[in-house]
Every structure is written in structure tokens, then in C-alpha cells.
Amino acid sequence: MSSTRTVPVLMYHHVTPAGGAINVTPDHFRGQLAWLRRRGYRSLTCAQFAAHLAGAPAPARSVLMTFDDGYLDNYVHAWPLLREYGFHAVIFLVTGWVGDGPARAAAGQGGDLPETPDHAACSARVAAGQASDIALRWSEIQRMQADGVCEFHSHTHTHTRWDKQDPGNKNSRMQIELAQSRQCLQEHLGGVSDHLCWPQGYFDADYVKIAQDAGFRHLYTTRAFGQNRPGSDPASIFRFAVRNTTGDSVGRRIQVAANPVAGPVFNAWKRWKRGQRYSG
């Protein structure tokens, strides 16, 4: 084990046959998990990842697998594959979207599978007040949590960009969001961790302080071009988005992210390239 090792954090949203930009098909997800297993990777829990940031050496070939929002397809398609391949995942819940009712059918377990639409269709359902159609239920969450495959943390209560919707009151709005999210997690899952994922990737210095005051210490971003090493700031955890592509393709990205030489060079180049695009 190395005290300077980087742990790449993978960011998913959907695993669904619909496919698309941030929708990984089950076949591609299977291929990605198979690549990880063939090469001896292990997926950490949030507690293990936090220990890594605090200085405890992580095992070689470690990743953290995260899913944002808490979509139904995480239960229907991702969970059975995670179980099959022996990996652990972290799901950040928009707690205001989570519904009640019995657990629905999951792949490979019999019964007709529920609809799992792509991201654009899911967003339209949420906007129409129909989040319960495409989001997880507490019964499904509890089932996934009980067998140890998935763990669940806060992604706020409504996933709203208050800096756009109500900029003059964004800080008080975020305080309410976090309080509501914590209450839901405590009520339904019996506890709340100190891990929080920002809605739509937005945060600023005010939000960081509000989150820390609310009891959140490990804050997950959508910033891709950095390394999560021992001693890294837990208030700025880097993640890169996993695309609807092969295991070999995702594997190359993981290997670059974890490499102590190639990783920083790649990240610096990507930051420069992005800066050139926005200043051109």
C-alpha cells in the first residue's frame, strides 16, 4: 500500500437500456465491471475512502463508484450487476424524489421490469411532478442497503440550483435543503453520514461553510481534473463522469487518473484545453 496513492472516483447517473450521454447501458456497465474485476480492482466504501484521504493507505487498484440522484434504474439494472461482480457503490439521493411503496422488480429476479427512461425523460418527469415514476423507493433503498452492496448519502432534498432560482436567498435555501435531506435519511435509514454531493455540481464558499456547519465534511464535486490523494481536501473531492462505453475505454481513464506521473500531466492539459475553449 502507498501513502501517496490516488483513488479515482467514478461518477454515474443511470444504467439503463435507453443508453445516451450520461446513461450507461447494462451491457456496457457489465463490461466496465468485468474490466475492473479482471484487473483486481476493488471498490471502496465511503468510510474507506475517507480514511484514505485522512492518510490511511488504500489498497492498490482502488476506486470509489458513485451514482448521482437515486434513479430507479440504479435498483433495476445497476444493483444486480454490482452484486454479480462483487462491487460496492455509493448512491447520492435527492431525498425529496424518493417515494413509498413496495419494491419493484429488478433484473434477473423475475417479474416484469419497470420502465427506466433516459436522463432527459427522467428530468421531464421530475419537472412534471412525477419523480416517483423514475426515482427509487425507500423499500428499494433499504433492500440494497441491507445486503451491503450500496450505501446512501445526501444529494440535497430537491436538487435545485438556488443560485439560479432564488439567488438572493440561496444560502438560506441551501440550509433548508440540507436540513430536510438529513431528516429524511435519519427517518428512513436510521442515520446520516458526513458525505454530501452538490446538486448539478454547483457550490461556492458560502455553500461549503453551510454544509460543514450542517455536519457534512466530505463534499463531492463534478470537477474531473484532480487527484484524490491522502491529505487532499475532503471539501473538494474530484470525480470524473463514466460514459456509455467499453470497459477498456473506462479502464484507460482510470489508469491515467491513478497514475502519479501521467495523471497530473493529463489533468493540467485538460484544464488548459478547457480554458482555451472558454477564452476563444
The half-sphere exposure of 223 on its side-chain side, counting CA atoms within 13 A, is 16
For residue 131, being part of any structural domain is answered with yes
Contact 24, 118 (CB under 8 A): no
**Is residue 3 one of the residues assigned to a domain?**
no
Q: How far apart are CA 261 and CA 202, in angstroms?
A: 29
For 108, the domain range is: 9-279
The closest alpha carbon to 55, from 232, 200, 257, 258, belongs to 232
Extract the runs of DSSP E, i.e. beta strands, from 110-204.
Answer: 150-154, 195-197
In terms of Cβ atoms closer than 10 Å to its own Cβ (0-12, 13-18, 19+), residue 153 is: buried
**Helical axes 26-38 vs 247-258, angle rounded to 10°:** 50
User: Would residue 224 count as lying in a domain?
Assistant: yes
Nearest to 62 by CA among 136, 10, 140: 10
On whether residue 83 sits in a domain, the answer given is yes
Assign residue 164 the CATH number of its domain: 3.20.20.370
Answer whether residue 1 is part of any domain.
no
Q: Is 34 exposed, middle or buried (0-12, 13-18, 19+ CB in 10 A)?
A: middle
199 with 220: CB under 8 angstroms? no
- In degrees rounded to 5, what are phi and psi of residue 92? -95, 115
Residue 48 near residue 80 (C-beta atoms within 8 A): no
Domain membership of residue 73 (yes or no) is yes
Please give the tally of structural domains in the chain.
1
> Would you state the pLDDT for residue 3?
52
Give the three-class secondary structure for 42.
strand
The answer as to whether 67 is a domain residue is yes
Is residue 4 one of the residues assigned to a domain? Answer: no
User: CA 219 to CA 228: how far, in whole Å?
Assistant: 12
In what helix (H) or strand (E) does residue 268 lie, and over which residues does it extend? helix 262-279
Q: Give me the pLDDT at residue 200, please.
A: 94
User: Strand runs (DSSP E) across 95-205, as ranges?
Assistant: 150-154, 195-197
Can you give the pLDDT at residue 271?
A: 84
Matching residue, cell 473531492:
237
Q: Which three cell numbers stand for residue 100?
A: 413509498
Per-residue confidence in pLDDT tens, the chain, 280 aa:
455 689 999 999 999 999 888 999 999 999 999 999 999 999 999 999 999 999 998 999 999 999 999 999 999 999 999 999 999 999 999 999 999 999 999 999 888 999 999 999 999 999 999 999 999 999 999 999 999 999 999 999 999 999 999 999 999 999 999 999 999 999 999 999 999 999 999 999 999 999 999 999 999 999 999 999 999 999 999 999 999 999 999 999 999 999 989 988 888 888 887 776 655 5
